[in-house]
Amino acid sequence: MTAGPEEIARAVARLRAGGLVAFPTETVYGLGADALDARAVARVFELKGRPALNPLIVHVADPAMARTVVGTWPARAETLARAFWPGPLTLVLPKADAVPDIVTGAGPTVGVRCPDHHITLSLLHALGKPLVGPSANPSGGLSPTTAEHVRASFSEEQVQVLDGGPCRAGIESTVLDLSSDPPRILRPGVVTAPQISRVLGCTIAGPGAIGSAGLPAPSPGLLGVHYAPRTPAVLLEPADWPAILSTAPRVAFLSHADRPVPPPHRLIRLPAEAGAYAARLYAALREADELGMDLLAIDRPPRGPENPELWDAILDRLTRATRPDAR
Ligand code: TXA
Ligand code: MG
């Protein structure tokens, strides 16, 4: 049952009292607290076990609310907000003094986005204040794409969960640093560099390779293993197929293709189209985890002509969720 007006009203009261509410978005569920209440935000860090230096995204109802949390709102921000909000694009800008340091990991910038989900937009309008919203999972784990996923990690006493059904997009927002020139993608997502470039009429810098030497770490949340299942996971190259079956007694395979997988190994099929694959990915990884196998082997998805940038964003998550040495 998706949340109605009464649950939204209860959520507003909880947030006003410094409590936590998980909210649905088009990407993943967020763990919400009043962004201007440093003690409430501290509870979010505590509950997630999140490193203090990893900044939180601030969710707003509209560009007018965004202006209250940023120090400057450049023309580029207005243009992007008009083109992509509500939607999966987070803009990193100099922060306003009103935003507590704990929100930004003591850094000078803040990430803002307007989520595309009617329940959360109603919540933001009713509260009249911005909400922090990291993904509603213990730090480092899989992002939740259903209300049940959130409830599996947190009790109702800790977090009120607003059920908005399964998330449509399924992977997290694109994070774009607008405080640098040219603007730079810090985390690839559903909104792609060519789309942003077309709207702004300028080039967009990419995130660089994961862990590449010499690059600063502008987005501390992107370090190390992340978005990870509990079971050791590897990314499979096509040539690995024959050998992998004998590396562990029980392997759960996740694949966009129909692979021959003899028992006791298991195959979990993923869609072959990028958007559908992204929407299904985290739920499939959770299902694979619940099988309690020895190893998860994820077939490297094809970077076909159809939406190659979304496949890149998916591969970014898969690379962080897996370890070359896991098997
Ligand atoms: O789709 C999403 O963005 C979801 C939904 C709930 O909105 N939220 C989300 O939040 O994924 P979180 O906290 O799990 O990831 C936020 C990412 C982290 O990698 C963090 O380091 C980066 O955004 N980030 C946030 N503020 C930043 C800033 N001021 N500068 C650089 N990176 C920032
Ligand atoms: Mg997260």
Q: Residue 238: which pLDDT band, with cuts at 50, 70 and 90?
A: confident
Ligand 2 centroid – CA 273 distance (Å): 24
| Nearest residue (CA) to ligand 1, atom 31 | 219
What confidence tens digit (pLDDT) does each residue in 139-182 have? 989 999 999 999 999 999 999 999 999 999 999 999 999 999 99
Burial 238-251 (b: 16+ CB within 10 A, else e): eebbeebbeebeeb
- What's the rounded mean pLDDT across residues 274-289? 96
User: What pLDDT is stored for residue 241 in this prediction?
Assistant: 76
Ligand 2 mean position to 195 CA, how many Å?
A: 24
Task: Reply yes or no on whether the pLDDT at 217 is more than 80.
Answer: no
Q: Residue 142 C-alpha to ligand 2 middle, in angstroms?
A: 8
Cα–Cα dist 315/302, whole Å: 10
Token look-up 């059904």 returns 165
What's the CA-to-centroid distance between 251 and ligand 1, angstroms? 32
Mean pLDDT value across residues 48-75: 97
Residue 221 Cβ < 6 Å to ligand 1: yes
In this prediction, residue 211 has a pLDDT band, given cuts at 50, 70 and 90, of: very low
In degrees rounded to 5, what are phi and psi of residue 235?
-95, 130
pLDDT at 261 > cutoff 60: yes
pLDDT-based confidence at residue 81 (cuts at 50, 70, 90): very high
**3-state DSSP call for residue 63?**
helix
Q: 172-207: per-residue pLDDT in tens? A: 999 999 999 999 999 999 999 999 999 999 999 988
Q: Is the pLDDT of residue 252 over 60?
A: yes
Ligand 1 contact via 139 beta carbon (within 6 Å) = no
Question: d(Cα 258, Cα 270) in Å, to the nearest integer?
Answer: 9
For residue range 27-37, what is the model confidence (pLDDT) as tens digits?
A: 999 999 999 99
Residues 6+ away with beta carbon under 8 Å from 89: 80, 113, 173, 174, 176, 189, 191, 196
Q: Is the pLDDT of residue 213 over 60?
A: no
Ligand showing the shortest atom-to-Cα distance for residue 116 = 1
Three-state secondary-structure class, residue 297 = strand
Q: What distance in Å separates the CA atoms of residue 77 and residue 89, rounded to the nearest whole number?
A: 11
Q: Which amino acid is at 281?
A: L
- Bridge partner residues of 131 (DSSP): 34, 59
Atom of ligand 1 nearest to the CA of 218: 31
Establish whether residue 186 lines the binding site of ligand 1, counting it when its CB lies within 6 angstroms of any ligand atom: yes
Give the pLDDT score at 67.
98
| Closest ligand 1 atom, residue 220 Cα | 21
